Amino acid sequence: MKKRVILLGPPGAGKGTHAKSLTVAMHIPHISTGDMLRDARSRGTELGKQADSYMSSGALVPDALVNGIVAERLASETNGYLLDGYPRTIAQAEYLSACGEKIDAVVLIDVADDVLIERIVGRLSCPNCGAVYHRTNMPPKVSGKCDACGKDLVQRADDNEVTVRQRLEAYHKQTQPLVDYYDKLGLLSKIDGAGSVEDGFAQLKKVLEF
Ligand code: AP5
């Protein structure tokens, strides 16, 4: 089984959705830089304050800020991990490698831009346990309430159409070059993320060999 895994893909591809199931099936922790930055922002830490304007506008947070939090977190993980949303630039990938991290697999979840916008604008998130829903594709059992913990669901501040377009632009310019980067290292697999969640998970199971 591959134990040190990067999930690569545009906003709304399903990284977070699949990561929640993969971490249970593979017994490895889910490390999401987006979640870490949102947490820092909601606690009002110095990092959160510095990251806020970038996140709100749909831009990437500077490499130096993100690298710092990831290095700290990975240092405590000895049994593998599932990285979601990191690395997102060539500089971040080079930093990860310079930290001595040996990645086993990188999986690109491929989905077309028009599908992504519809997914993100309809997304509902639980601020308490991090569960993710969709107004039409994956609605909660009780409208507006998290199935897992019962808290009120919210729409992420950056899940509006204007910001999503900026996030997609940042993805194509700054993150897509990682596809070639990891392909050249022989680590890249690609799955089609446009179908159902079950179909995406079945493909992940195959490429990650669990
Ligand atoms: P981050 O939180 O990482 O957001 P993202 O990459 O834009 O990804 P998303 O969380 O939007 O999408 P996802 O792929 O997880 O999709 P999900 O599974 O939720 O980053 C946010 C911001 O933080 C960035 O813009 C940046 O500013 C900053 N940041 C974070 N990391 C950084 C880094 N390394 N460097 C610099 N800056 C960084 O699915 C989306 C919706 O679709 C859900 O509603 C879901 O229910 C639905 N759905 C999912 N799969 C399916 C399916 N197969 N069929 C139907 N619906 C589906």
pTM of the prediction? Answer: 0.95
On whether the CB atoms of residues 146 and 153 are closer than 8 A, the answer is: yes
108 Cα–ligand 1 center, Å: 13
Q: What is the rounded distance in angstroms from the CA atom of residue 204 to the CA atom of residue 4? A: 14
pLDDT category at 1 given cuts 50, 70, 90 is confident
The residue whose CA has the least distance to atom 50 of ligand 1 is 14
pLDDT digits 0-9 by tens, 105-163: 999 999 999 999 999 999 999 999 989 999 998 999 999 999 999 999 999 999 999 99
76 Cα–ligand 1 center, Å: 24
Domain that holds residue 23: 4-112+167-208
- Per-residue confidence (pLDDT) for residue 26, from 0 to 100: 95
Q: State the total domains in the chain.
A: 1
Atom of ligand 1 nearest to the CA of 170: 25
Is 47 part of any domain? yes
- Among the ranges given (40-44, 73-77, 82-86, 179-183), the one the predictor scored with the smallest mean pLDDT: 73-77
- Out of 2, 4, 38, 123, the active site residue is 123
Neighbours of 164 (CB within 10 A): 22
Look up 184 and say whether it is catalytic: no
Average pLDDT over residues 64-87: 93
The residue whose CA has the least distance to atom 12 of ligand 1 is 12
Is 142 part of any domain? no
- Strands 123-125 and 132-134, bridge-based pairing: antiparallel
Average pLDDT over residues 20-24: 94
Report whether pLDDT(27) > 90: yes
Nearest to 202 by CA among 21, 16, 4: 21
Average pLDDT over residues 78-104: 96
Q: Residues in the chain, how many? A: 210
- pLDDT > 70: what percent of the chain? 100
Is 27 part of any domain? yes
pLDDT category at 76 given cuts 50, 70, 90 is confident
Is 22 part of any domain? yes
Average pLDDT over residues 61-81: 92
Measured in degrees and rounded to the nearest 5, phi and psi for residue 201 equal: -65, -40
- Per-residue confidence (pLDDT) for residue 169, from 0 to 100: 97
Is 155 part of any domain? no
Report whether pLDDT(202) > 80: yes
- Out of 15, 38, 41, 119, the active site residue is 15
Average pLDDT over residues 20-30: 95
Is 133 part of any domain? no
Is 149 part of any domain? no
Looking at residue 173, which CATH number applies to its domain?
3.40.50.300
- Per-residue confidence (pLDDT) for residue 72, from 0 to 100: 86
Look up 15 and say whether it is catalytic: yes
Look up 167 and say whether it is catalytic: yes
Is 128 part of any domain? no
Does ligand 1 lie within 6 Å of residue 119's CB atom?
yes
- Per-residue confidence (pLDDT) for residue 78, from 0 to 100: 87
Q: What is the rounded distance in angstroms from the CA atom of residue 65 to the CA atom of residue 37? A: 10
Mean pLDDT (the chain, rounded) = 95
- Per-residue confidence (pLDDT) for residue 81, from 0 to 100: 96
- Out of 3, 156, 190, 205, the active site residue is 156
Higher model confidence: residue 74 or residue 55?
Answer: 55
